[in-house]
């Protein structure tokens, strides 16, 4: 999904940068704030932060890529994280990825057009005994041994998204 950062978002970021001037650890703090504003850290935003802080772009980019808490690609409202650690891979983790591909039309690292779902792959989420497993945001779903079970999880969140949309209309 193609997103464009808005002037309003940059204005919000400027405010945070002005407030954090002179504070310790400005890069991490500012990237954190930027991610909150934009939802993730696209390259233009990282470069903007670097320029505003007067730091080399390479340094700020290095920080953004080093810490797992920073996302360089957009995330969906519901982040699907399929485990492809050894136990899950052996027991069918790839099948989960394939079903998500088919059902939602997104590959690893992508977000659905409506911004509802994103897909990523992780290595072990601590549910090896109940593999294969995946997470949706922070919730773990295990024993996803059949395509039907994976579809049930996806549909549950489709319903949730539709209900939330209805409520906000």
Q: Are 82 and 91 in contact (CB under 8 A)?
A: no
| Among the listed residues 27, 28, 87, 160, the single contact to ligand FES using CB under 6 A | 87
Q: Is 144 in the site for ligand FES (CB under 6 A)?
A: no
Nearer to ligand FES, 62 or 126 (CB): 126
Q: How far apart are CA 75 and CA 80, in angstroms?
A: 9
Q: Is 152 in the site for ligand FES (CB under 6 A)?
A: no
Angle (CA) 134 118 27, round 5°: 105
Q: Is 145 in the site for ligand FES (CB under 6 A)?
A: no
Give the closest residue to 116 by CA, choosing from 6, 1, 4: 1
Give me 84's structure tokens.
């492809």
| Among the listed residues 128, 145, 147, 160, the single contact to ligand FES using CB under 6 A | 128
Give me 156's structure tokens.
């549950």
Q: Is 95 in the site for ligand FES (CB under 6 A)?
A: no
Q: Is 96 in the site for ligand FES (CB under 6 A)?
A: no
Q: Is 53 in the site for ligand FES (CB under 6 A)?
A: no
Nearer to ligand FES, 6 or 137 (CB): 137
| Among the listed residues 17, 82, 88, 150, the single contact to ligand FES using CB under 6 A | 88
Give the closest residue to 44 by CA, choosing from 72, 19, 65, 21: 72
Q: Are 48 and 13 in contact (CB under 8 A)?
A: yes
Q: Are 117 and 78 in contact (CB under 8 A)?
A: yes
| Among the listed residues 49, 127, 154, 161, the single contact to ligand FES using CB under 6 A | 127
- Residues in contact with ligand FES by CB under 6 A are 83, 85-88, 124-128, 131, 133
């Amino acid at each position: 999904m193609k997103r464009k950062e808005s002037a309003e978002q940059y204005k919000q970021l400027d405010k945070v940068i002005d407030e954090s001037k002179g504070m310790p650890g400005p890069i991490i703090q500012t990237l954190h704030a930027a991610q909150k504003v934009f939802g993730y850290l696209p390259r233009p935003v990282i470069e903007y932060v670097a320029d505003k802080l007067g730091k080399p772009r390479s340094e700020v980019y290095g920080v953004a890529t080093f810490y797992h808490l920073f996302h360089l690609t957009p995330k969906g409202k519901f982040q699907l994280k399929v485990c492809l650690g050894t136990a899950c891979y052996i027991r069918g983790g790839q099948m989960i990825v394939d079903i998500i591909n088919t059902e939602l039309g997104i590959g690893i690292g992508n977000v659905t057009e409506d911004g509802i779902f994103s897909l990523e792959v992780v290595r072990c989420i601590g549910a090896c005994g109940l593999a294969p497993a995946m997470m949706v945001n922070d919730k773990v779903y295990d024993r996803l041994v059949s395509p039907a079970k994976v579809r049930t999880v996806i549909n549950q969140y489709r319903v949730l998204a539709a209900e939330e949309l209805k409520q906000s209309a």
